[in-house]
Structure 1
Amino acid sequence: MWTLLLAVGLGMLAGALMVWAWQRWSLHERLAAALDRLRREHPSVAPLQRPLLGDDALDALLNQLGESFRYLERELEQAQARQHQLAALFDHLSDGVVLIDPEGRVVGLNRAARNLLAGARDSAVGRPYPEVVRDYELNELVAQALAGSDTQPGRFVELGRPRRSVQALASVLHGAEQPLVTLVLRDITELRRTETIRRDFVANVSHDLRTPLAALQALVDTLLDGALADRAVAEDFLRRIATEVEHLTRLVSQLLELTKAESGQLHLARVLTDLVTLARSTLERFRPRADAKRIRLELVADDRLPPVPCDPDRIVQVLANMLDNALKFTPEDGCVRLELARDENAVHVRVRDTGPGIPSEEIDRVFERFFKGDRARSSSGSGLGLAIAKHLVQLHGGRVWAENAPEGGAVVGFTLPLARD
């Protein structure tokens, strides 16, 4: 009896050992196959480069799998970091980019696109592109790309408020899990504005040079035709010639000065200056002209105004240009007020008039070269005064601005930084 029980027990123990050995061998084979498959799918996973731990092959295999998984975790972390970097780069592109899937839904867009597209103010991802784009021409461009047109000419559209000039291009992006339509929006508003300024500059220079040159030619021709014999007529014509030459000389001098100011080649002789005294003396220079039009000149200054480090001759030039402009547009019996105040960091200077104000579409252009808001009333000037004033102020580290006062009239001003302790 006992012999039978012992034989059964030994048989069961042997069977259990055989099952355990078979399971261990099976697990070893499956782990080895998994490791081989992992290395085939990821060739960069290197084999273990150290002595195996112990003589147990299963332990060694587990160690190798652990090393491989740790390597893959590091690779995954680096890939996620690169993905975050690419996402940040995508969001900070200067051009607007919208990604659209084959079903016509927006799967991504960057910050520039959100700023340009009115429909992208809310959550745009996942919505149909017409709800996000909201522009007929852009919708048509995207529809053509979705239909399979890989090459399309770019289009120029106007978007947003205020209106922005945008160059748009739609193309199909291959290589991803599914082809995506990429809508690229390039804001060319400033480029067009610069081109307009360049054309206006050339046209205005030509106009301002042609007028006095034509007058000089006519005067000289008249003198040569016989007017020189009449002394009184000749003297009158010579005075006119001198006036036109003076105008040309002043124009060329202003152009040279503006060029130096724009290129930073203008030297500033900075000294601590009492701006109130400087403003009062500059204002008095214009009093005869103001009295002729019955225009009141007023000075309002902060009593706590400290001396300011600046080039007094250049600041007088800035004040003179702004006062000249204010008197030009102020009607008779009006008022021009020069105001000086301060804050913690700068002195604020404002020239306020009671004229018709500045049209809203022209406020951003008053400091452009040769810009004249009303040629009928400002044809005597060169249009360079405020442009020169802007660059002189910027050389001092300040800024200029123009606005309309709520009570009427225009305000043109600038700031000058205070001296640091």
Structure 2
Amino acid sequence: MMNHILDKQLQTAKDISTLLVRSPSCSCVLEDVLEMMVNDWSIKGAAIVVANNRGSFNVLASYVSTKDYQERTSLQEYILSNLEKSSMLGEAQVTRRELLLLQVPLYLQDKKRGCLCIIADRELKVEKSWLTILEIISNQASQALEKELEKEKTRYYKSLFKSVLEGLTEGIILTNNRDIIYSNKVAMNLIHNDGGLMNTLDEMISKITNIAVNSVKVQVYMEAAENNNSTYFFEIETTDRKFLRFTKFPISKDSSPIKHWGYLINDITKRKEADKIKDDLIATVSHELKTPLTSIKGNVSTLLREDVIWSETDRKEFLLDIYEESERLNDLIEKLLDISKINAGVIKLDKTYVTINRIVEKLEERVIKRYGHIVNRHYADNITYHIDGGTDLLYIDEHRVLQVLLNLIDNAIKYGPEDGLIEVYAESQGRSVHFIVRDQGPGIPEEKLKKIFTKYYRIDSDLITMGSGLGLAICKGFIEAHRGKIWAESTQGKGSAFHFILPKK
């Protein structure tokens, strides 16, 4: 009889071993394993329990002989409530209370992390041979669980790695020098692979060639990259006026028989645009510095001539011209210093309480000082001022706000017609004040309207047009330093309106 029971137990252990080995997923068959044990050995139930980080236990899988829900729940609760933590550290342990609870340690990653639990009648005699079989089953379950944990760990890191790659702002493509192993969405968008299949390196090269302005260059670059065993990069211009930088880099060890490569794709369009804007700025600033210096030098040389006696009127005209060109130089230098402070984020505001009336009065004074004396250019007379709530107080840096208003008026005069009207509005609106400078200039194209407050941006890069292109960026910096907002509205052929709002406190 004993031999028959032992044979049955051994056969069950063999069947369980076969099931665990053949199953692709251990977690899917754990309950089947426990069911075989319960049914073949006529016990009440079995469970696999693992310890968690909080010092308590989680039931990984369980099976009980009864189909009654309450009884099933009761048996599972019995396992957890009578589980001895000592079994995690020692050998197999038998506890006899209302029922018999047999605990066989479960090893995970060379540590005792759980146990295989058997519930049976209290009077059941536990033979040593049966314990040995249970230990064998426990070891097999442990090995299967370890493999499952490794698979889960691999899946987790694979998912994490994919999430990182998908979260990049750069495109990335991984290849084995023939096939595409992986490519993120950014890469697909950059090379215009709209839902199409791209499985091989040749298909990738074809896609890049199709979007390039100069397809011959792409072929030359890709051949050079293929023959280069170290990091290699090249840049292309696309048909939709973008600039892409490709960096090919090795991701295989030298001993690997199959070479794996990565292609990092950066959209460098904005950087190229910034470089062009800076180049234009340097050319513009050079021109803006050279022109007044040439004029000043010419006027001084003329005044110093000993063979001519200049009248007081002539001398005054020469000196006035020198003064105006000096002011122009000073204005440019101040703008360069201001934009430098804005870029560094170190603008300091000297705030005081001033009324709206005072700001407008000071603005009128400065406009007259700057433009009132220019012969045949009575720009100051063409400016009208509208005030609403003039006695309201503002807590601002008066000098900086006047700089903004003067800059906007300068632009209105610079780009507007000789006799064009300019309107300045200052309106109190609750907790803020709304300023507007409206002109009758040619207007600004809609596609350029969003860029006009960008650092170094100029609407017209032609050097004939006066200005450094720094003014509006400085205006934006000063207004935002006051926690305000600035924007522009324009209709081509009808003029532009520049708005900014400042909080009163």
State the TM-score, normalizing by the size of structure 1. 0.69
- Report the equivalent of 1:98: 173
Correspondence 1:169 to 2:247: yes
Correspondence 1:389 to 2:475: yes
- Report the equivalent of 1:155: 234
Task: For residues 265-293 of structure 1, give each alpha carbon's deviation from its aligned partner in whole angstroms, at most 9, with x where no partner exists.
Answer: 33213356655774576368658869659
* Distance in 2 separating the partners of 1:167 and 1:91: 18
Correspondence 1:197 to 2:273: no
Q: Secondary structure at the match of 2:270?
A: helix
* Distance in 2 separating the partners of 1:339 and 1:117: 49
* Distance in 1 separating the partners of 2:283 and 2:463: 17
Paired residue type of 2:157:
R
CA positional deviation for 1:345: 9.2
- Report the equivalent of 1:87: 162
Kindly indicate whether the alpha-carbon contact (under 8 Å) linking 1:223 and 1:234 is maintained by their aligned counterparts in 2: yes
Q: Secondary structure at the match of 1:196?
A: helix
Q: Which moved more, 1:353-362 or 1:24-33?
A: 24-33
* Distance in 2 separating the partners of 1:343 and 1:130: 59
Give the alignment partner of residue 409 of structure 1, picking from 495, 501, 504. Answer: 495
The alpha-carbon distance between structure 1 residues 143 and 259, as it changes in their structure 2 partners (threshold 3 A), is closer
Kindly indicate whether the alpha-carbon contact (under 8 Å) linking 2:354 and 2:394 is maintained by their aligned counterparts in 1: yes
Q: Which moved more, 1:87-96 or 1:406-415?
A: 406-415
The alpha-carbon distance between structure 1 residues 385 and 67, as it changes in their structure 2 partners (threshold 3 A), is same
Give the alignment partner of residue 268 of structure 1, picking from 331, 337, 349. Answer: 349
Correspondence 1:185 to 2:265: yes
Kindly indicate whether the alpha-carbon contact (under 8 Å) linking 2:280 and 2:461 is maintained by their aligned counterparts in 1: no
- Report the equivalent of 1:256: 337
CA positional deviation for 1:318: 0.7
Kindly indicate whether the alpha-carbon contact (under 8 Å) linking 1:141 and 1:170 is maintained by their aligned counterparts in 2: no
Q: Which moved more, 1:94-103 or 1:279-288?
A: 279-288
Q: Which moved more, 1:168-177 or 1:209-218?
A: 168-177
CA positional deviation for 1:325: 0.8
- Report the equivalent of 1:357: 443
* Distance in 1 separating the partners of 2:428 and 2:310: 61
CA positional deviation for 1:97: 1.5
CA positional deviation for 1:61: 1.7
* Distance in 2 separating the partners of 1:304 and 1:65: 88
* Distance in 1 separating the partners of 2:380 and 2:323: 27
The alpha-carbon distance between structure 1 residues 16 and 70, as it changes in their structure 2 partners (threshold 3 A), is closer
* Distance in 1 separating the partners of 2:339 and 2:173: 42
The gaps in structure 2 that reach 5 residues or longer are: 27-107, 118-125
Q: Which moved more, 1:193-202 or 1:70-79?
A: 70-79
User: How many matched pairs?
Assistant: 395
The alpha-carbon distance between structure 1 residues 33 and 88, as it changes in their structure 2 partners (threshold 3 A), is closer
Spell out the pairing of 1:28-177 with structure 2 (5 A cutoff): 45-46=109-110, 48=112, 55=128, 56-99=131-174, 107-110=182-185, 112-120=186-194, 122=195, 129=204, 134-136=210-212, 137=215, 140=219, 144=223, 153-159=232-238, 163-170=241-248, 173-174=251-252
- Report the equivalent of 1:9: none
Kindly indicate whether the alpha-carbon contact (under 8 Å) linking 2:439 and 2:495 is maintained by their aligned counterparts in 1: yes
* Distance in 2 separating the partners of 1:280 and 1:177: 81
Q: Secondary structure at the match of 2:168?
A: coil
- Report the equivalent of 1:329: 415
Q: Secondary structure at the match of 1:154?
A: strand
Kindly indicate whether the alpha-carbon contact (under 8 Å) linking 1:215 and 1:244 is maintained by their aligned counterparts in 2: yes
* Distance in 2 separating the partners of 1:257 and 1:29: 78
CA positional deviation for 1:167: 1.1
Q: Which moved more, 1:141-150 or 1:253-262?
A: 141-150
Task: For residues 76-121 of structure 1, give each alpha carbon's deviation from its aligned partner in whole angstroms, at most 9, with x where no partner exists.
Answer: 44443333332222122232213457776684314x335534334x
Kindly indicate whether the alpha-carbon contact (under 8 Å) linking 2:422 and 2:439 is maintained by their aligned counterparts in 1: yes
Q: What is the percent sequence identity of the aligned residues? A: 23
CA positional deviation for 1:177: 11
The alpha-carbon distance between structure 1 residues 142 and 406, as it changes in their structure 2 partners (threshold 3 A), is same
Larger proportion of strand: 2
* Distance in 2 separating the partners of 1:402 and 1:247: 25
Task: For residues 15-52 of structure 1, give each alpha carbon's deviation from its aligned partner in whole angstroms, at most 9, with x where no partner exists.
Answer: 95685477468669979999xxx9xxxxx932658999
CA positional deviation for 1:165: 2.0
- Report the equivalent of 2:325: 244
Q: Which moved more, 1:194-203 or 1:85-94?
A: 194-203
Kindly indicate whether the alpha-carbon contact (under 8 Å) linking 2:443 and 2:496 is maintained by their aligned counterparts in 1: yes
* Distance in 2 separating the partners of 1:22 and 1:375: 93
Paired residue type of 1:218:
G
Q: Which moved more, 1:22-31 or 1:195-204?
A: 22-31
Give the alignment partner of residue 315 of structure 1, picking from 401, 417, 431. Answer: 401
- Report the equivalent of 1:282: 363
Task: For residues 223-245 of structure 1, give each alpha carbon's deviation from its aligned partner in whole angstroms, at most 9, with x where no partner exists.
Answer: 44415654545555444444433
Q: Secondary structure at the match of 1:191?
A: helix
Kindly indicate whether the alpha-carbon contact (under 8 Å) linking 1:352 and 1:412 is maintained by their aligned counterparts in 2: yes
Kindly indicate whether the alpha-carbon contact (under 8 Å) linking 1:279 and 1:319 is maintained by their aligned counterparts in 2: no
Q: Which moved more, 1:173-182 or 1:353-362?
A: 173-182
CA positional deviation for 1:59: 0.5
* Distance in 1 separating the partners of 2:151 and 2:110: 16
* Distance in 1 separating the partners of 2:175 and 2:115: 53
The alpha-carbon distance between structure 1 residues 416 and 62, as it changes in their structure 2 partners (threshold 3 A), is farther
CA positional deviation for 1:352: 3.1
Task: For residues 290-325 of structure 1, give each alpha carbon's deviation from its aligned partner in whole angstroms, at most 9, with x where no partner exists.
Answer: 965985646486x79986543233212211211221
Q: Which moved more, 1:253-262 or 1:132-141?
A: 132-141
Kindly indicate whether the alpha-carbon contact (under 8 Å) linking 1:300 and 1:337 is maintained by their aligned counterparts in 2: no
